[in-house]
Amino acid sequence: MSFKKEFGFKRLTQVDEALEKYLKLFKSIDESETVETVNSLNRVLTKDIKSPEDIPPFNRSAMDGYAVRSIDVSGASESSPVRLKLAGYSTTSNPFNGSMGQCEAVRIDTGARMPEGADSVVMLEYTRRVGDYIEVFKQISPYENVSLRGEDVRKGDVIVYGGIPLTPYDIACLINAGIYEVEVFRKVKVGLAAVGSELLDFPSKLPEGMVREVNRINIKYYLSMYYPVEFKDYGIIPDDHDRVREVIEKGIEENDVMITIGGSSLGKGDVVTDIAENLGNIIVHGVALYPSRPVLLSEMSGKPYIGVPGYPVAAAVTARVFLEPVIMKLAGIRGVLVEGRVKGRLSRRVSSRIGFRHYVRVKLKPSKDGFVVEPIYTSGAGILSSLSLGDGYLIIPEDVEGYEAGDEVEVILYRRVIKV
Amino acid sequence: MSFKKEFGFKRLTQVDEALEKYLKLFKSIDESETVETVNSLNRVLTKDIKSPEDIPPFNRSAMDGYAVRSIDVSGASESSPVRLKLAGYSTTSNPFNGSMGQCEAVRIDTGARMPEGADSVVMLEYTRRVGDYIEVFKQISPYENVSLRGEDVRKGDVIVYGGIPLTPYDIACLINAGIYEVEVFRKVKVGLAAVGSELLDFPSKLPEGMVREVNRINIKYYLSMYYPVEFKDYGIIPDDHDRVREVIEKGIEENDVMITIGGSSLGKGDVVTDIAENLGNIIVHGVALYPSRPVLLSEMSGKPYIGVPGYPVAAAVTARVFLEPVIMKLAGIRGVLVEGRVKGRLSRRVSSRIGFRHYVRVKLKPSKDGFVVEPIYTSGAGILSSLSLGDGYLIIPEDVEGYEAGDEVEVILYRRVIKV
């Protein structure tokens, strides 16, 4: 009895079970390379980075104001200001190098080095300049408005974590600490092909019965936004067993993961399942995920070979649910994916099938009482405008049987800016 | 009395008021250009795009199975299957061109054209092949498992909205509809300079009292991730009135918006406020935002000139709170920014000042009962590792006076993958 019959689509694997079974088969890339920090967006550090120095390297003012001894202005208030003698000015480029005496103050800029003898900074707005003196209208605690040496970061402290994709903030933090080069895992090589004799790339006119292939572009853009990936595009392969087999073999050989889109369902014209069975091991075929049932997760020469459904919405959901975790694992990422949610009330009922995880595309509409969540009705997984007219996914878990109109639900956004 | 004295930092403008006052002064770019759809990520369409065709262009199967007349299989069940004669096979590349008669079935692949005469598709798993016949074990409604012509999109329907940045999904949808070029607003030209005699770009060794400039990189990366921007980098300008003035004038002339970082607080060494006052009109100086008080929003030759605080965390928060809305406005974006949130319980108290909006950096820690939200303690706005060690912002609104340990709060993430 063939695998296909035994594990045919009458038995679908639940998403979490499929991921657990599949991800544990593969190891992270262990090759690394050195890159300029400024070019390391989304790259993954091989290890935590520690600060090579104290930051700040000296005590400095956190405010524009006057450096003082806090004890000198004890009891100062609007009605009984304390008068101090102005002894100098400390700027970031010209620090005050003398020593500040009792009942003296030094005018100081934000970021400038604290004068010796001063322990705190009174903000400008609580002072008044009177000739060579200042009046202070507020008392202050020791070290108030002062950034102490090593307070931000002590030499040897972790400043940026390894094992998660670097953000602009991380890059700024590294450069700020004088770390201009970093060791990162090399990029994940991803082979990509679309399978289907009906597919065309950018035809000037679409012949009847043919379909424009858009899944490769979608998947490339999506994964590149967040992860260190390097795509090798094998283009469109017609439904020809030998040619598809050739491309999958080549793709597995030349990359860390091979992905074909289309050809993974049970149709007679589909070829990738047979190839996966013959050249490797099918781990999961068919998942309890709407709209993405015919996902094929297999292992070939120790690498993941994944068959993604060809319908564009199913391909997009598969990219999120299966490709993203696989890429994370290969890329050396040891963190957890967390997506923000937006609450709203459903404009109408959405039904779902118990035991399946559903990704329902929804539009958010701002209203007086928060967002209205409007499901975008579609009959199938091919309807790309259900993604482009929507703002996010309402995920219906396996143990929930839909939601009623008016229910409060949470939406995972795939846009930062929504149409209103 | 100068503006600075009159509207000095004792009177701070609240964030929403500042944005409202400021944004209405500027118009969106109205110049557009044609770009290839495949290169239009984050670009903004000048208008909604309508479908030039019906999608699908014909009735097609949404499943692998058998095309049937629903009336023929009425009453079919596991115990009393209905037998139909197999009349052919319709694949995506070889549609069945005959007409299907009564009590006949045509084997059909997902996406293949429906045979004339058939109105529905029985899924493969509810059938059994018996020689030239099939047995159907389930009754079906008319049009079940069929995607009707124009069902996804009718010719003339809006498929992608103008006025919001394009996502991979939008791009796929446009190309799918045969739209390979789109008209978008030209990119927003952003002039950027850092002001401060203490700043250095990538010094091999950092002289005492000097600081590595990282805000330009941070702001460039951050805005480029989401918006169509084109940066002109004027580098680091020392605290010299004439040189700063020259760069700001040039920046305003050559760009749609000019941004300087640093030099916008009340320190005597700061120069940008005077320049903004002399060359244009200061709209807001000083906002009730922690950590970003000394924000300078001004108008110069009809364009926005913005002074961003130099402390890195303040610069990052200013980029989110002020630069992002300004760029959105200029870019022709008419949508609303919506950020997803993650709920969690505070590990300890965070205090805030009534009347101020606070952006507290926090680390999320997964626990049995959901996330623990751990504020990252920092004394000032310079501590970049509070961003790199954190996962998101806990925003404390103006009318809330902090939160207690154990309070449920919502966090806006700035990472997709968090360290655990």
A385–B contact, CB cutoff 8 A: yes
Burial of B131 by CB count in 10 Å (0-12 exposed, 13-18 middle, 19+ buried)?
exposed
CB contact A109 to B (< 8 Å) = yes
With a threshold of 0.95, does the pTM exceed it?
A: no
With beta carbons less than 8 A apart as the criterion, state whether B343 and B301 touch: no
Domain CATH number, residue B12: 3.40.980.10
> For residues A206 and A196, what is the distance between their CA atoms, to the nearest angstrom?
15
The reported pLDDT for the residue numbered A383 is 77
Inter-chain residue contact B217 with A171, CB threshold 8 Å? yes
AA letter at A242? D
Contact: A384, B151; criterion CB under 8 Å: no
What per-residue confidence (pLDDT) applies to A2?
Answer: 35
Q: Which domain holds residue B85?
A: 60-147
Identity at A95, one-letter amino acid code:
P
Are residues B230 and B299 located together in one domain of the fold? yes
Across all residues in chain B, what is the average pLDDT?
91
Chain A contacts of B164, Cβ < 8 Å? 415, 417-419
Query: Nearest CB to A64: which of B265, B337, B412?
Result: B265
Contact at CB, A175 and B215, closer than 8 angstroms: no
Query: Is residue B240 situated within a structural domain?
Result: yes
A46 and A168 within one domain: yes
Cβ(A183)–Cβ(A46) below 8 Å: yes
| Helices and strands in chain A: count of H runs, count of E runs | 9, 28
What pLDDT score was predicted for residue B114? 94
**Is A291 contained in some domain?**
yes
User: Is the residue at B420 inside a domain?
Assistant: no
Do B211 and B305 reside in the same domain of the chain? Answer: yes
Q: What is the ipTM of this complex?
A: 0.85
Residues B242-260: pLDDT tens digits? Answer: 999 999 999 999 999 999 9
In this structure, the answer to whether residues B165 and B46 fall within a common structural domain is: yes
In a domain, B336, yes or no: no
CATH number of the domain bearing residue A48:
3.90.105
The A residues from 158 to 187 touching B (CB cutoff 8 Å) are: 158-161, 163-165, 167-176, 178, 180
Distance CA B290, CA B315 (A): 11
Segment 198-237 of chain B within 8 Å of chain A by CB: 198, 202-203, 206, 208-209, 211-212, 214-215, 217-218, 221-222, 225-226
Q: What are phi and psi of A315, to 5 degrees?
A: -65, -40
Assess if residue B111 is contained within a domain: yes
- Residue of A161, A212, A391 with shortest CB distance to B176: A212
Q: Counting one residue from A and one from B, how many pairs have CB atoms under 8 Å apart?
A: 345
Pairing between β-strand B32-36 and β-strand B181-185 as defined by DSSP bridges: antiparallel
List the structure tokens of A31.
Answer: 């090759």
B18 in the same domain as B65: no
B36: how many CB neighbours lie within 10 A of its CB? 12
HSE at residue A269, side-chain half, CA atoms within 13 A, is: 24
Across A73-85, average pLDDT: 95
Percent of chain B with pLDDT over 90: 79
Q: Are residues B256 and B358 in the same domain?
A: no
pLDDT, tens only, A131-147: 999 999 999 999 999 98
Q: Are residues A256 and A283 in the same domain?
A: yes
Kindly state whether B367 is in contact with chain A, defined as any CB-CB distance less than 8 angstroms: no
SS3 for B213?
Answer: coil
If asked whether residues B66 and B39 sit together in one domain, one would say no
**Res B342 pLDDT > 80:** yes
The number of domains in chain B is: 4
Q: Which residue matches tokens 């060494």?
A: B269
Among residues A131, A147, A163, which one ends one of the domains?
A147
Strands A120-123 and A146-147: unpaired
Is B303 inside any structural domain?
Answer: yes
A-chain residues within 8 Å CB-CB of B364?
338
For B78, the token pair is 């596991």
Note the pLDDT of residue A287. 95
**B43-67 residue pLDDT tens:** 999 999 999 988 788 898 988 899 9
Q: Do A235 and A101 share a domain, yes or no?
A: no
Q: Residue A419 domain-assigned?
A: no
Minimal Cα distance from A197: which residue of B?
B93
Hey, what are A355's tokens? 């035991």
Residue of B nearest to A293 (CA): B63
The encoded tokens of residue A354 equal 């118990």
Which of A53, A110, A221, A361 best probes binding to B when mutated, by most B CB atoms within 10 angstroms?
A110
Chain B residue whose CA is closest to A223 = B168
> In the listed set B167, B184, B201, which residue is the last one of a domain according to the structure?
B184
- Of B147, B170, B200, which residue constitutes the final position of a domain? B147
Residues in chain A: 420
Whether the pLDDT of residue A378 is over 70: the answer is no
Chosen for mutation from A107, A169, A270 (greatest number of chain B CBs closer than 10 Å) is A169
Give CA–CA dist A17/A23, Å, rounded: 10
Parallel/antiparallel/unpaired status of strands A65-68 and A127-130: unpaired
Task: Please indicate, yes or no, whether residues A180 and A209 belong to a single structural domain of this protein.
Answer: no
**CB–CB of A152 and B414 under 8 A?**
no
What's the pLDDT band for A266 if we cut at 50, 70, 90?
low
B384 vs A176: CB contact, 8 Å cut-off? yes
Residue A394, domain CATH: 2.40.340.10
B378, two tokens: 């920092």
Q: Which of A169, A198, A221 sits opposite B168 (nearest CB)?
A: A221
Judge: B169–A316 Cβ closer than 8 Å, yes or no. Answer: yes
Is the per-residue pLDDT at B380 higher than 60?
no
Any idea what the CATH number is for the domain that residue A107 is in?
Answer: 2.170.190.11
> For B83-131, what is each residue's pLDDT tens digit?
999 999 998 778 898 899 999 999 998 888 999 999 999 999 999 999 9
Q: Does one domain contain both A175 and A310?
A: no
What do you get for the CA distance between the two ends of chain B, in Å? 55
Confidence bin at A379 (pLDDT 50/70/90): low
CB contact, 8 Å: A56 with chain B? Answer: yes
Q: How far apart are CA A281 and CA A296, in angstroms?
A: 11
**Shared-domain flag, residues B303 and B228:** yes
With a CB-CB cutoff of 8 Å, which residues 31-50 of chain A face chain B? 38, 41
Query: Residue B151 has what pLDDT?
Result: 80
> Would strands B104-108 and B65-68 be described as parallel, antiparallel, or unpaired?
antiparallel
Q: Tell me the C-alpha distance between B66 and B23, whole Å.
A: 59
A88: Cα separation from own chain's centroid: 48
Asked whether residue A158 is assigned to any structural domain, the reply reads: yes
Nearest CB neighbour to B385, from listed A159, A198, A316: A159
The C-alpha angle A252, A253, A256, rounded to 5 degrees, equals 60
> How many angstroms separate the Cα of A184 from the Cα of each of A48, A171, A332, B202, B384?
11, 13, 9, 20, 21
Cis peptide before B56 (omega within 30 of 0): yes
